[in-house]
Amino acid sequence: MDKKNKTLGEFIIENQSEFQYSTGELSKLINAIRLAAKVVNHEVNKAGLIDILGEAGDTNVQGEDQQKLDVLANEKFIQALRKREIVCGIASEEEDDFITINSQDENHQNKYVVLIDPLDGSSNIDVNVSVGTIFSIYRRITPVGTPVTLEDFLQPGKNQVAAGYVVYGTSTMLVYTTGHGVNGFTLNPAIGTFYLSHPNMEFPETGKIYSVNEGNYVHFPQGVKNYIKYCQEEEGDRPYTSRYIGSLVSDFHRNMIKGGIYMYPKSSKASNGKLRLLYECNPMALIAEQANGKASNGNQRILDIQPSELHERVPFFCGSKKMVEKAEEFMK
């Protein structure tokens, strides 16, 4: 079949056997995410009509309560994942604690946990800048048949069986990995179908883009300041170009295609930076590594970090391998 005509649904079925526990459950799970992504995409596209349709807290003309989009996205993803008998627990940026999901027979037979940032960068919505969904999937480590526990969520990123993101941008794309490379699918909104548009995505080994919130410069550690100065120096292929959307998924997506580094360092104001290890950094790190890139907290591989709490933050340096390695050198 012509690659360009392959739908996400077809791709999931064709590649099911690649997965080590190939019972079809992971495929169903990705399908649930695909469905929720379409629903959220529809809502995100209407965001600019909020003055007409009503603000969060209002009731719209159909008598439905309007919700903030991040709350709504959270509900849609949880709803989609809850319905299939696959997921035993969900942790979300929008929820203080993890959610336990019972199988229909209440025997706790479901094997997977999902960690999700349902709408990352949501402060960008008001100004029509792209936002994203980030997801991370693990097999539970506690025995099937018992209730899911915090331990099932606090696994190092290297245990992830799949991870991905949806970018609601000029086009809506779903990009994911099950540990066999990274593939990107673009939504045709007219018919609501994702098509394989970016097979085998890879970060160029090096690049010319650095993405960091330079407004925080004075608060950064000296090593980070020095690396930023290095990016700006005139020598060889430098100075690099600076691009920062402030929407992790979009910044990452651009850098994966064009070559670049994304940084959210620690600072004198935030000792672990801003981004969350479990549902922002780990999934992006798995995608990066699967796409020949690299992700680090400055001196350690993100995927090796043993998490200690659900909403833990971590400094994040991610992108083209050579650029991340160079940044690490500066931080030694």
Which residues of this chain interact with ligand AHM, rule CB under 6 A?
93, 117, 120-122, 213, 246-248, 274
Which of the listed partners (Mg ion, ligand AHM, none) does 247 bind, with a CB threshold of 5 to 8 Å by partner kind? ligand AHM
Strand order across the 260-264 sheet: 241-242, 209-211, 260-264, 316-320, 293-296
Query: Which range binds Mg ion by CB under 5 A, 112-120, 189-197, 227-235, 311-319?
Result: 112-120
Give the C-alpha separation, 219 to 223, whole Å: 12
Query: 231 exposed, middle or buried (CB, 10 Å; 0-12, 13-18, 19+)?
Result: buried
For ligand AHM, the closer CB: 85 or 312: 312
Q: How far is the CB of 255 from ligand AHM (least distance, A)?
A: 12
Which of the listed partners (Mg ion, ligand AHM, none) does 122 bind, with a CB threshold of 5 to 8 Å by partner kind? ligand AHM
Q: How far is the CB of 280 from ligand AHM (least distance, A)?
A: 7
Residue from 25, 70, 94, 117 binding Mg ion (CB under 5 A): 117
Cβ pair 88, 108 in contact under 8 A: yes
Q: How far is the CB of 248 from ligand AHM (least distance, A)?
A: 3
Spatial CB neighbours of 218, under 8 Å, sequence gap ≥ 6: none
Q: How far is the CB of 93 from Mg ion (least distance, A)?
A: 5
Which of the listed partners (ligand AHM, Mg ion, none) does 189 bind, with a CB threshold of 5 to 8 Å by partner kind? none
For ligand AHM, the closer CB: 93 or 152: 93
For Mg ion, the closer CB: 132 or 204: 132
Q: Which residue has the tokens 């989009």?
A: 69
Residue from 25, 70, 94, 120 binding Mg ion (CB under 5 A): 120
Positions that interact with Mg ion (CB under 5 A): 117, 120
